[in-house]
Amino acid sequence: MQSIHILVGTTSGNTEFLAGELEIALQAEGHTTTFHDLPAIHEIPTEGLWLLCVATHGAGEYAESIVQFMEDLAQQQPNLAAVRYALVAIGDSSYDTYCQAGLDADQLLSQLGATRVADILTIDMMLDPAPETTATKWLENWQDHRGA
C-alpha cells in the first residue's frame, strides 16, 4: 500500500473529475491518497509517489490550478531525487500544442531528479469518448510499478 499525492492541473474542471476517478480507483486498492486541486509547493513532500494530471490551456500552457506550482518548482529547483511519479497529460488534438503542458511538466520533474514510473498517458478530450475509462485502464497497467 502506498501514500500517493495526486496533483491536479485544471482550468475548467475536466481534469479534476478525471483525477477524482483515479483517486477512487487507487483508494479501492487500499492506497492512501492526498488530493491537491491547487498544488502548493510547501504542502507536497519531496519524496514518495506523485500522480500528476495536467491539462493544457492557452497555447500549450499549464492549466490555471498548477501554474504557480510549476513556476515555484522551476524557480526553487528542489531536489526531487526521492520522488517517483506518473503523469496524465490532458489536451485536445486539434491544437498544435497537444498536451504540451504535461510534456513540459515531465521534463521539469525529470530535470529536478524525479523518476517517472510509467509511460505518460495522453488523453485527447476531443476524440476519446471515455477518458476516465482510458485513465483507469492505464492505472491498472502500471500497478506493478507502484511498489517499485
Ligand X SMILES: Cc1cc2nc3c(=O)[nH]c(=O)nc-3n(C[C@H](O)[C@H](O)[C@H](O)COP(=O)(O)O)c2cc1C
In terms of residues, how long is the chain?
Answer: 148
Tell me which of 1, 3, 13, 133 binds ligand X, using CB under 6 A. 13
Q: Which stretch binds ligand X (CB under 6 A): 20-28, 40-48, 56-64, 113-121?
A: 56-64
Closest CA to 131 of 109, 99, 95: 99
Question: CA torsion sign, 42 to 43 to 45 to 50?
Answer: negative
For the bound state, the minimum distance from the C-beta of residue 147 to ligand X, rounded and expressed in Å, comes to 29
Q: Which stretch binds ligand X (CB under 6 A): 6-14, 66-74, 80-88, 137-145?
A: 6-14
For the bound state, the minimum distance from the C-beta of residue 11 to ligand X, rounded and expressed in Å, comes to 4
Q: How many CA atoms lie within 13 A of 83 on its CB side?
A: 22
For the bound state, the minimum distance from the C-beta of residue 53 to ligand X, rounded and expressed in Å, comes to 8
Round to whole Å and give the CA distance between 87 and 105.
9
The residue whose Cβ lies closest to ligand X is 91
Per CB under 6 A, 35 contacts ligand X: no
Q: Which stretch binds ligand X (CB under 6 A): 27-35, 75-83, 90-98, 103-111?
A: 90-98
Q: What is the dihedral of CA 83, 117, 85, 66, to 10 degrees?
A: 140
